[in-house]
Amino acid sequence: MRIVLIGAGRLATNLGVALKKAGHEVACVWSRTEASASSLASILDTIWTCQLEELPTDADVYLLSVTDQALQEVIGKLPNTNSVYIHTAGSMPMQLFEGKMLHYGVFYPMQTFSKEKRVSFEQIPCFIEGSDQPTLDVIKTLANSLSRKVYELTSEQRQYLHLGSVFACNFANHCYAVAFSILKQHGIKPEVLLPLIRETADKVERIEPLKGQTGPAVRGDFNVMQHHLQLLEGQTMWQQLYNEISEDIQRMQKTEAEL
């Protein structure tokens, strides 16, 4: 397919590379700034622009990978063609395109992307939605050319999926960040945590996280929890998080036991 790539951030970069690898043509890259547009265009060996009205009008697909805030504005300025318009935002409904474009949909690859580290798309679960069957078929073909895990999902469900991904990825990563910071504050190399982090993530592939939980909260070890809160003296945000996450761990175990 001949694809116009709108955006040049982490996801757009990973996506552009994966699209080329899958044999698609990236016809043009748009970004708000020259620096990022030209940088990604040079990686993808294609042309670039910072003017939405200058985009080629003969592409098969316009693939939007911009921030959620920018999405509506960018859609409003795109050339209106008979092509398929696709956004990649987990939390945004497909209906953003409604009344503006004829054929549209969503392609949401659920992963955390870095510019530094290329992620292989093959194993990334991708969630798709289309405004009509032929459009959905185009999006499905595109998605299948990138990933082996393609699922259809409504906008309604996708917003909960996105919410879940914030807990599973961003909030889990924040727990790592707090742990790293605590160790550093006390002269311990944070890298010693890596095997624990890895095993915790591995374990969830075999045992549901609720059933596989360990540690003082699930054991009801009040003494250790009190001691940890003392160690966090002066770090009120972390004390609060410690208390509330521990409380929620106990609450969810209790709810599970009652079921």
Q: Say whether residue 144 binds a second copy (CB under 8 A).
A: no
Q: Are 126 and 143 in contact (CB under 8 A)?
A: yes
Q: Are 19 and 126 in contact (CB under 8 A)?
A: no
Query: Judged by CB under 8 A, which stretch of 15-23, 28-36, 38-46, 224-232 contacts a second copy?
Result: 224-232
Residues in region 52-91 near a second copy by CB under 8 A: 67-69, 91
- Pairs from 214-217 (Cβ < 8 Å, separation ≥ 24): 215/249, 216/246, 217/245, 217/246, 217/247, 217/249, 217/250
For a second copy, the closer of residues 53 and 237 by Cβ is 237
Measured CA to CA, the distance from residue 231 to residue 182 in angstroms comes to: 10
- Residue 167's Cβ-count burial label (10 Å; 0-12, 13-18, 19+) is exposed
For a second copy, the closer of residues 98 and 208 by Cβ is 208
- Binding residues for a second copy, how many (CB under 8 A)? 96
Site string for a second copy, 238-257 (x = CB under 8 A): x-xxx-xx-xxx-xx-----
Largest CA distance in the chain: 68
Least distance to a second copy, CB of residue 179, Å: 4
CA torsion through residues 115, 204, 201, 186, sign: positive
Query: Judged by CB under 8 A, which stretch of 18-26, 31-39, 133-141, 146-154 contacts a second copy?
Result: 146-154
Q: Say whether residue 160 binds a second copy (CB under 8 A).
A: yes
Task: Kindly tell me which residue out of 23, 53, 237, 257 binds a second copy, with binding defined by CB under 8 A.
Answer: 237
For a second copy, the closer of residues 102 and 241 by Cβ is 241
Least distance to a second copy, CB of residue 153, Å: 7
Site string for a second copy, 24-43 (x = CB under 8 A): --------------------
Q: What contacts 62, CB < 8 A, 6 or more positions away? A: 3, 4, 6, 55, 78, 81, 83, 84, 85, 86
For a second copy, the closer of residues 79 and 216 by Cβ is 216
Task: Kindly tell me which residue out of 187, 257, 258, 259 binds a second copy, with binding defined by CB under 8 A.
Answer: 187
Measured CA to CA, the distance from residue 83 to residue 132 in angstroms comes to: 13
E-assigned strand segments in 145-192: 150-152
For a second copy, the closer of residues 38 and 176 by Cβ is 176
Residues in region 193-222 near a second copy by CB under 8 A: 193-210, 212-219, 221
Question: SS3 letters for 100-153?
Answer: CCCEEEEEEECCCCCCCCCCCHHHCCEEEEECCHHHHHHHHHHHHHHCCCEEEC
For a second copy, the closer of residues 2 and 162 by Cβ is 162
Query: Judged by CB under 8 A, which stretch of 12-20, 31-39, 80-88, 152-160 contacts a second copy?
Result: 152-160
Residues in region 97-116 near a second copy by CB under 8 A: 110-114, 116
